[in-house]
Homo-oligomer: A and B are copies of this chain.
Amino acid sequence: MSLIESIEITPIAFRDPPLLNAYGVHEAWALRTIIEVKTRDGRYGLGESYGDEQTISQLQAVAPSLIGMDVFHLNAIRNRITAVVKQPDPKSGLEIAPGTLGATTVPRIFSAFEVACLDLMGKITGRPVCDLLGGKVRDSVDYSAYLFYKFDRHRFSDDPWVDRWGEALTPEGIVEQARKMIEQYGFRSIKLKAGVFEPEAEIAALRALKQAFPDHPLRIDPNGGWSVETTARLLPQFDGNLLQYLEDPAPGKEAMGQVSALTDIPLATNMCVIGNFDLPRALELDAVQVILSDHHYWGGLKATQELAYVCKTWNIGLSMHSNSHLGISLMAMTHAAAAIDNLSYACDTHYPWQEEEVIVGGKIAFENGAVRVPDKPGLGVELDREALAVLAQNYLTCGIRARDDVAEMRKYQPDWSGKIPRY
């Protein structure tokens, strides 16, 4: 009943707005993979992971070796995966999507299957996934309004689709975007993706946000786009409590440690601490005061809880990072977040930027900026196979095989380097 009979791995592509960041701009299509783990009795469990070619080939390479294994035997499944995938050097690195780095291969591939197995374990035992993680400590999970500088449309795409958000290249544009997003989703905190323009222009946007939403905690994330010297110059401009935290101002643990020594503003990261191999040095340097977990590359929902234990023990704040994703990942994040006591901030999510879905019922609703923790067995979502077929077809025709924000930006600006720190 709980033995894996088959596994389906379906690469998909869905429309993604031209969102700007320190590396460049999002392409017209975002890639993901939908993982279905099936047992003999017809049950299936769902996972969602990255959609780059490397991840897809690793998921496919691993899948046959998991047939016949018990979905409850997550430790054995992780060991099997460790044996099958080529384990790169366990070195950290710096990348906008840490899930694509070699150092995260095993946790990344395991995570995709772990979530699907937990979904199945929930369905088999009649329990929501959070109950397999010790049970929820909150009924809903807060997310933040994740603002991006953006173009109005993909100027170099043949696809006629235009997103509903419009251009945002100025403080006014960002405030307008925030207003729209908060009106629609009810978010009660705001994150601004930065590292795009001159830092002072981005701080002006922060100030405009603070004026428009004085009760919404603010965060800014230049993705390591500033040097330590630039960050040192900027710190006094985050006057008073303009920021809830400052995410990855400068690239790498050493740089973050240098910034940290200069300020009381908590520093957050999803770039210089992307796996447990990064923890000892980061804590030694007091480089970060908030870790943004991401089950997709930290090794699953249980690994996220283990990270939470480290954060509790070392008095480090905890929240969640996000790349472009759909509802299976949103539910996985929500179950994990619901079962973690010391989640100290609203989680990030790209979810409002996507219009398509693969789950029955379409997009998951936010209430007051939060997602309700479902009580249904498993993750609480079912696969819409027609929708999946459409998105799988998108993948085949979209022509993108790995996310490349730098190359996309070069279409707009041929001399674009995408190197960080730029400022």
Contacts and interface: CB of A to CB of B under 8 A. Distances in A.
Interface size class of A (residues with CB under 8 A): 20 to 34
A125 interface: yes
A276 to B, nearest CB: 4
A302 interface: yes
A314 B280 contact: yes
Nearest to A305: B306
Contacts of A84: none
A309 B302 CA distance: 11
A135 B313 contact: no
Pick the 5 closest A-B CB pairs, nearest first.
A73-B135, A306-B309, A276-B313, A74-B134, A75-B134
Contact of A72 (B74, B131, B279, B312): B131
Interface string A267-279: 0000000001101
Given A305-B306, A341-B75, A313 B134 contact: no
Interface of A: 70, 72-76, 79, 124-125, 127, 131-132, 134-137, 276-277, 279-280, 283, 302-303, 305-306, 309-310, 312-314, 339, 341
Contact of A313 (B124, B280, B312): B280
Nearest to A72: B131
Given A70-B135, A76-B137, A276-B312, 11 more contacts: A70-B131, A72-B127, A75-B135, A75-B341, A79-B137, A79-B341, A124-B125, A276-B313, A277-B313, A279-B314, A310-B310
A211 B86 CA distance: 44
Contacts of A312: 276
Contacts of A280: 283, 313-314
A396 to B, nearest CB: 36
Nearest to A135: B73
A337 to B, nearest CB: 12
Nearest to A128: B72
Nearest to A70: B135
Contacts of A75: 134-137, 339, 341
Contacts of A313: 276-277, 279-280, 310
15 contacts: A70-B135, A72-B127, A73-B134, A74-B135, A75-B137, A76-B135, A79-B137, A276-B313, A279-B314, A280-B283, A280-B313, A280-B314, A303-B309, A305-B306, A306-B309
Contacts of A136: 73, 75-76
A139 B205 CA distance: 59
A207 B419 CA distance: 62
Quick one: which of A79, A124, A303, A309 has the most chain B CB within 10 A? A309
A293 to B, nearest CB: 13
Given A79-B341, A137-B79, A302-B134, A276 B73 contact: no
A79 B135 CA distance: 11
A134 B80 CA distance: 13
A341 B305 CA distance: 17
A306 B341 CA distance: 14
Nearest to A133: B75
A131 B306 contact: no
Contacts of A135: 70, 72-76
A41 to B, nearest CB: 14
A131 B125 CA distance: 12
Contacts of A76: 135-137
Nearest to A307: B309
A245 to B, nearest CB: 21
Contacts of A137: 75-76, 79
A306 B137 CA distance: 18
A341 to B, nearest CB: 6
Contacts of A73: 131, 134-136
Contacts of A302: 134
A215 B70 CA distance: 37
Contacts of A339: 75
Nearest to A279: B313
